[in-house]
Structure 1
């Protein structure tokens, strides 16, 4: 019998039985250390739905003892804090040793409220310097911490595999970026923060024993069904590759751009991880680059599927000593393209309300993206408004048609689309309901995040919580929040996000 989250007893942070499974690995994998205290911390925002995953009483967000614990000023009972070492490729170049330069893992905890049974790790991002800080100050700033908090929760609500964010605490303590900013700590959660770069670290050092220990740890804890496979390490590579491909298909389908798809930011569980200079597509341009630092466009929207494949090959290279044969590794990596294509095809059919698959659907999709790009149509509004089109009512598509500069091009495509709907005797009302469950009305547009951040910087956190409440229900109409679904203002196009955080 399943017990609802409301019926479960709720606990304080100190009552939660924290463990740290990562300490079962040798000391070479991490450094034990204490967080650096944050000066006079205060609560900025908290997610009750994230708290429910671990049975945490959301009333904890108001307790100073809790605020101190998630700011690094007090260590929760049973916590074994550590920072993990890893390496990685950054913008396609081998960067050598990296590691948790400002993140400290408190431990893992049962997650009775999660969709699948298991544990979630609690990690403090911005908790001070570690041996892996590489000249950094170990801090995060309020601006980027709020963005990560909101996007983690927004992506989860969209159905995209993602890490979660429990809360953000702030301080008047100053840190330097391009200009002075205030410090913050984000508490984030995931079943694991092991990355592709965690495996690359040992491969490039030629330390096969540690490589095997890490692979066995990951399989035993997260992929136990692979233990009895004839080639468990090949099976691991194939499963991670599949999950990664499907995750990136989700990104493309909701118009999400990660911005920094380095191998040290790629989750071994196929989760969206490390929200830095991300963005959601607005005026559709397949070549759009959301990260101002990415001068070459390596991580542009249209490049994300290709880079995902590249990153999986980097992981395959790292696992090769365990797999033992190049052809076997290539066989595992061959899962990527059909997995991406299959997931993307299914998501596009859902976004267009198509219940069947026809041979010409690929052309319909390509033509659609072509006219969207030509008119720089707002990505989210296009798909949402398309659900209002009715097959036998020529004026029913005016709202989506108005998004186009070249309306004749849309009209031509709409003729194809209507004909395709007629092919499967599509029901307007049923299709609209289904499309509204596949096409969000509300996404975390950069300007919405910026407005919330600017208020937070003067210690008005109401807009952060309001925006969170809207984004937790992205597929609902929410007529009282219509302004959050509007086209971005002109000034929004001048916003830039970069790797600085």
Structure 2
């Protein structure tokens, strides 16, 4: 394992021309203190977890001191925000320290989010607050625990520097780890500037680094686009299956590697509602839960347009055609697994849709319902009260249950074996907004970070029962209805 001054920085993005970035150092913050450290994420960069005890650890990861070998910069990009193109965005409050190469040969970006103003900040202050940093830190690790592609989070470092949002809050920096921070908007900025050369350069960079098997292919650019299409389609299916809503699916928040990226006003659904809008700022519901698959394709279309200098339009359109079938196949497979089906197909779609319709009509908790379905008894005459009692309209559930029971007769194994399968795909624990809020309030009011660490540990194993933590699976209390999450979060 490595000490802080031994990390193997490579910094390949920094070697691209300055067209792609702006070099600068983070802006210092006074009296930094450690909020939380994620030893599991530290393994990605071979960092010795004992280094957290280093006197300068907080100084390094709030940006007051530079890690040896780092080459800090802010990345340039553009993007469609809520459907409208913004010609220049870029890292307005995030600074990429560089890329660490681990012993396995993997490259991992280290990025400080909230490290101060950059040339791309526009009117922003370049800072992040403790509240939003805790939310991103916990959710990125919760998504990893659920098996969903995501950026990771190494640590949070706080400061009592006052930051103005809706009210005065304290500053914090979260260290984000990802294979790459290149996004759809990284290509869009050069398309709208009518600069094809940087598009070629960036595409070659991404292919050489992340899709080396395509590097020598004569059709490498269409195949690269196809990789992004497939990864994005599968990511959208995973979000929908777990009940996750991103909140701000702008093209500058879409990862070129199909990662869940840029956590802001996200939310996991409590009571199932296909029209769920987790972002208080999304007044038109553009990024409502049930619109996410459609928006995924819309965003890919923007990327495909940006790549038309290197991919013929008709060829790009053909590649985009792979999105729908890929999404549908993966979503049905995931939902079938949640129902305990070993091989789900289009014939099972009515069964899935009927259950979701019942859940919506009866305001049934999404996560808890699917977890409890593992207890469903498939034999005729068996009682299924643990599931049935979650529905107000019990006759409607009974009718669905008969169809489900008949479908289970075609499945191999026993009910007990099916439950084991289902418990591996239906989480017991998710990062409900109220759980995050409790941790945030303890951190803000008492400088007590124990709840952050407790949630980090819990959400790392979301499919395990963890009896001592059973109350963390409870539906939200009444006061949680008043939690408001917006783009400033």
Is TM more than 0.5 here? yes
Checking the alignment, whether the CA contact within 8 Å between 2:333 and 2:343 is kept in structure 1 is no
Checking the alignment, whether the CA contact within 8 Å between 2:264 and 2:487 is kept in structure 1 is yes
Query: Once the 2 structures are TM-superposed, how far is the Cα of residue 425 of structure 1 from its aligned partner?
Result: 4.2
Provide the alpha-carbon RMSD of the alignment: 1.2
Query: Once the 2 structures are TM-superposed, how far is the Cα of residue 403 of structure 1 from its aligned partner?
Result: 1.7
Aligned partners of 1:477 and 1:394: how far apart in 2? Answer: 28
3-state DSSP of counterpart to 1:387: helix
Change (3 A) 1:359 1:197: closer
1:477 maps onto 2:465 in alignment: yes
2:74 alignment partner in structure 1 = 83
Structure 1 residues 487-496 or 388-397, which shifts more?
388-397
3-state DSSP of counterpart to 2:399: helix
1:151 maps onto 2:139 in alignment: yes
1:44 alignment partner in structure 2 = 35
Instruction: Return the match for 1:216 from 204, 207, 211.
Output: 204
Checking the alignment, whether the CA contact within 8 Å between 1:175 and 1:182 is kept in structure 2 is yes
2:13 alignment partner in structure 1 = 22
Instruction: Return the match for 1:139 from 127, 138, 144.
Output: 127
1:405 maps onto 2:411 in alignment: no
Aligned partners of 1:367 and 1:333: how far apart in 2? Answer: 29
Change (3 A) 1:451 1:393: farther
1:245 alignment partner in structure 2 = 233
> For residues 370-449 of structure 1, what are the structure 2 equivalents within 5 Å?
370-392=357-379, 394=381, 396-449=383-436
Aligned partners of 1:470 and 1:154: how far apart in 2? Answer: 9
1:177 alignment partner in structure 2 = 165
Instruction: Return the match for 1:354 from 331, 341, 346.
Output: 341
Checking the alignment, whether the CA contact within 8 Å between 1:109 and 1:120 is kept in structure 2 is yes
1:367 maps onto 2:358 in alignment: no
After superposition, the C-alpha distances for 1:76-101 in whole angstroms (9 at most, x for unaligned) are 10110000110000001001100000
Aligned partners of 1:384 and 1:80: how far apart in 2? Answer: 46
1:326 maps onto 2:321 in alignment: no
Query: Once the 2 structures are TM-superposed, how far is the Cα of residue 228 of structure 1 from its aligned partner?
Result: 2.5
Query: Once the 2 structures are TM-superposed, how far is the Cα of residue 279 of structure 1 from its aligned partner?
Result: 0.2
3-state DSSP of counterpart to 1:321: coil
3-state DSSP of counterpart to 1:460: coil
Aligned partners of 2:388 and 2:453: how far apart in 1? Answer: 34
1:234 alignment partner in structure 2 = 222
Change (3 A) 1:112 1:481: farther
Query: Once the 2 structures are TM-superposed, how far is the Cα of residue 426 of structure 1 from its aligned partner?
Result: 4.3
Aligned partners of 2:171 and 2:346: how far apart in 1? Answer: 54
User: TM-score scaled by structure 1?
Assistant: 0.96
Aligned partners of 2:373 and 2:229: how far apart in 1? Answer: 33
Aligned partners of 2:162 and 2:168: how far apart in 1? Answer: 6
Query: Once the 2 structures are TM-superposed, how far is the Cα of residue 400 of structure 1 from its aligned partner?
Result: 1.9
Tell me which stretches of 4 or more aligned residues in structure 1 moved more than 4 Å: 393-396
Checking the alignment, whether the CA contact within 8 Å between 1:381 and 1:400 is kept in structure 2 is no
Change (3 A) 1:86 1:429: same
1:94 maps onto 2:74 in alignment: no
> For residues 119-134 of structure 1, what are the structure 2 equivalents within 5 Å?
119-134=107-122
Query: Once the 2 structures are TM-superposed, how far is the Cα of residue 395 of structure 1 from its aligned partner?
Result: 5.1
> For residues 243-392 of structure 1, what are the structure 2 equivalents within 5 Å?
243-323=231-311, 325-357=312-344, 360-392=347-379
Instruction: Return the match for 1:450 from 411, 415, 437.
Output: 437
After superposition, the C-alpha distances for 1:247-267 in whole angstroms (9 at most, x for unaligned) are 110000110000000000000
Unaligned stretches of 5+ in structure 2? Answer: none
Checking the alignment, whether the CA contact within 8 Å between 2:10 and 2:101 is kept in structure 1 is no
Checking the alignment, whether the CA contact within 8 Å between 1:18 and 1:109 is kept in structure 2 is yes
2:482 alignment partner in structure 1 = 494
2:44 alignment partner in structure 1 = 53
Aligned partners of 1:36 and 1:425: how far apart in 2? Answer: 60
Aligned partners of 2:375 and 2:97: how far apart in 1? Answer: 48
After superposition, the C-alpha distances for 1:19-77 in whole angstroms (9 at most, x for unaligned) are 21102210111111000011100000111110111111122223231110010100010
Structure 1 residues 399-408 or 217-226, which shifts more?
399-408
- Number of residues of Structure 1 aligned to a counterpart in Structure 2: 488
1:13 maps onto 2:1 in alignment: no
User: TM-score scaled by structure 2?
Assistant: 0.98
After superposition, the C-alpha distances for 1:153-197 in whole angstroms (9 at most, x for unaligned) are 010010000000000000111000000000000000000000000
1:65 maps onto 2:56 in alignment: yes
Aligned partners of 2:322 and 2:217: how far apart in 1? Answer: 17
Query: Once the 2 structures are TM-superposed, how far is the Cα of residue 15 of structure 1 from its aligned partner?
Result: 1.1
1:189 alignment partner in structure 2 = 177
Aligned partners of 1:258 and 1:79: how far apart in 2? Answer: 31
Checking the alignment, whether the CA contact within 8 Å between 1:238 and 1:332 is kept in structure 2 is yes
Change (3 A) 1:88 1:422: same
Query: Once the 2 structures are TM-superposed, how far is the Cα of residue 229 of structure 1 from its aligned partner?
Result: 2.4
Query: Once the 2 structures are TM-superposed, how far is the Cα of residue 393 of structure 1 from its aligned partner?
Result: 6.6
1:109 alignment partner in structure 2 = 100
1:462 maps onto 2:450 in alignment: yes
Structure 1 residues 407-416 or 378-387, which shifts more?
407-416
After superposition, the C-alpha distances for 1:350-373 in whole angstroms (9 at most, x for unaligned) are 111101335531110111111011
